[in-house]
């Protein structure tokens, strides 16, 4: 029935937003007992285990030998580099500001499209990128104050760049796999690369307080695994440009979760910068959507 199907899609979208909005708060809680590398590894060991169980029931397309370098690259950019940089960055950046900076990846995707893939970029998109980076500067300066800006915020931006490269590789080179198979291989290969942080992890697990353990367990199960399955379900029923509109709810939701879980209160500058970043990213996607509609009409 249409109403039931629509309700399931809306429920899946809400689940994705809630899971990914929890991630900054979960990382801050996890960093209370784990260093950034250990936290990333433990989170994705849990996610890998859950994805393996789901793959055993759901089935998965076996990888081809020629695709192994690509799958390792996807894991490196989507999991290893992205989450280690994110964890290190959040040692000094608030959860709310981090969620906004992480959403800036479409700005870097535009730069990658122009300089790496030689795509044409309109003046509108260049304007959106410039506006977005102005918003980024406002968020970073408003989070800790102009005198306290350090390299941690740049690492959050590095995580956004890494995520942009992941999507670019996925778009241009990974069409032979369905979304679930690709998500599994990205998680597994990224976790394999994170095993360099294995020494000392067992001791950290034994010493971490129960509150932190639950936070890390939630990170491994919800944002790192189940949210990807829900997102795949959404993309099966809604086109990408419409589905991504819901992702703009992540930063305000993340700020709400951080205010409850961490007692954070974003400054007016952070809120203003967040609005500028989200407006610029929204304008980028609206321009792409208009272009698709015009192409289809032609």
pLDDT digits (tens, 9 = 90+) for 82-104: 999 999 999 988 888 898 888 88
Residue of 224, 225, 246, 223 lying closest to 234 (CA atoms): 246
User: What CA–CA distance (Å, rounded) separates 73 from 1?
Assistant: 41
pLDDT on residue 100? 87
Do residues 247 and 18 touch, judged by C-beta distance below 8 A? no
What's the pLDDT tens digit per position in 213-222?
999 999 999 9
Instruction: Please report whether residue 5 resides in a domain.
Output: no
Instruction: Please report whether residue 39 resides in a domain.
Output: yes
Question: Does 292 or 31 have the greater pLDDT score?
Answer: 31
Read off the pLDDT of each residue in 218-227 and give the average, rounded to a whole number: 92
Instruction: Please report whether residue 2 resides in a domain.
Output: no
Confidence of residue 1 (pLDDT cuts 50, 70, 90): very low
Q: Write the CB contacts of 100 (distance below 8 Å, at least 6 apart in sequence).
A: 139, 251, 270, 273, 274, 277, 278
Confidence of residue 293 (pLDDT cuts 50, 70, 90): very low
Q: Which of 56-65, 152-161, 250-259, 285-294 has the lowest mean pLDDT?
A: 285-294
> Reduced to 3 states, what is the DSSP secondary structure of residue 263?
coil
Mean predicted lDDT score pLDDT of the chain = 85
Q: How many domains does the chain have?
A: 1
Instruction: Please report whether residue 151 resides in a domain.
Output: yes
Instruction: Please report whether residue 193 resides in a domain.
Output: yes
pLDDT on residue 287? 67
Do residues 212 and 34 touch, judged by C-beta distance below 8 A? yes
User: What CA–CA distance (Å, rounded) separates 256 from 105?
Assistant: 22
- Range of 19-23, 123-127, 247-251, 290-294 with top mean pLDDT: 19-23
What percent of the chain lies above the pLDDT cut of 70? 88
Q: Which domain holds residue 89?
A: 23-297
Read off the pLDDT of each residue in 5-12 and give the average, rounded to a whole number: 86
pLDDT on residue 77? 95
Instruction: Please report whether residue 6 resides in a domain.
Output: no
- Cα pseudo-dihedral 106, 232, 183, 73, rounded to 10: -30
Instruction: Please report whether residue 17 resides in a domain.
Output: no
Instruction: Please report whether residue 54 resides in a domain.
Output: yes
pLDDT on residue 183? 87
Render the burial of 1-40: b for 16+ CB within 10 Å, e for the rest: eeeeeeeebeebbebbbbbbbbbbbbbbbbbebbbbbbbb
């Amino acid at each position: 029935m249409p109403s039931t199907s629509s309700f399931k899609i809306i429920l899946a979208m809400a689940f994705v937003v809630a899971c990914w909005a929890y991630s900054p708060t979960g990382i801050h809680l996890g960093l209370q007992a784990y260093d950034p590398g250990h936290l990333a590894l433990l989170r994705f060991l849990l996610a890998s285990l859950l994805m393996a169980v789901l793959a055993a029931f759901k089935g998965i397309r076996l990888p081809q030998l020629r695709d192994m370098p690509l799958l390792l690259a996807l894991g490196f950019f989507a999991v290893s580099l992205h989450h280690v940089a994110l964890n290190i960055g959040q040692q000094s950046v608030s959860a709310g500001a981090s969620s906004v900076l992480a959403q800036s990846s479409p700005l870097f995707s535009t730069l990658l499209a122009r300089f790496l893939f030689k795509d044409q970029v309109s003046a509108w998109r260049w304007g959106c990128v410039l506006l977005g980076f102005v918003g980024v500067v406002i968020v970073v300066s408003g989070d800790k104050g102009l005198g306290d800006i350090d390299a941690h915020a740049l690492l959050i931006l590095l995580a956004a760049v890494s995520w942009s490269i992941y999507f670019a590789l996925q778009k241009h080179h990974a069409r032979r796999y369905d979304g679930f198979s690709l998500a599994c291989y990205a998680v597994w290969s990224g976790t394999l690369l994170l095993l360099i942080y294995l020494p000392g992890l067992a001791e950290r697990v034994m010493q971490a307080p129960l509150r932190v353990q639950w936070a890390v367990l939630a990170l491994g199960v919800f944002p790192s695994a189940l949210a990807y399955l829900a997102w795949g379900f959404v993309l099966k029923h809604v086109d990408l440009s419409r589905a991504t509109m819901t992702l703009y709810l992540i930063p305000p939701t993340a700020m709400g979760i951080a205010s409850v879980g961490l007692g954070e209160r974003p400054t007016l500058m952070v809120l203003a910068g967040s609005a500028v970043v989200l407006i610029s990213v929204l304008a980028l996607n609206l321009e792409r959507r208009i272009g698709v509609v015009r192409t289809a009409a032609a």
